[in-house]
């Protein structure tokens, strides 16, 4: 039972890491465009 709980916890942490990576990529796109929108970029990360 401990192994299952640890496995589930690891899967949830991996999923949260991938979602954070996507947010960072989107924020970089917003900040590095023709007309950078830093405020929206910061809101995307938070």
Residue 40 contacts residue 32 (beta carbons within 8 Å): no
Single pTM value for the model: 0.56
- The HSE-up count of residue 10 (CA atoms within 13 Å, CB side) is 6
1-33 pLDDT, tens digit each: 889 999 999 999 988 888 888 888 888 888 887
- Domain limits at 14? 2-45
Q: What is the pLDDT of residue 7?
A: 93
Domain total in the chain: 1
Going from the C-alpha of 8 to that of each of 15, 17, 18, 28, 35, the distances in angstroms are 11, 14, 16, 31, 42
Q: Please report the sign of the dihedral spanned by the C-alpha atoms of residue 27, residue 42, residue 14, residue 11.
A: negative
Q: Residue 34 phi/psi, 5° resolution?
A: -60, -50
């Amino acid at each position: 039972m401990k192994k299952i709980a640890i496995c589930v916890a690891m899967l949830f942490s991996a999923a949260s890491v991938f979602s954070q990576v996507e947010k960072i990529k989107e924020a970089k796109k917003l900040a590095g465009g023709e007309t950078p929108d830093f405020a929206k970029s910061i809101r995307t990360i938070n």
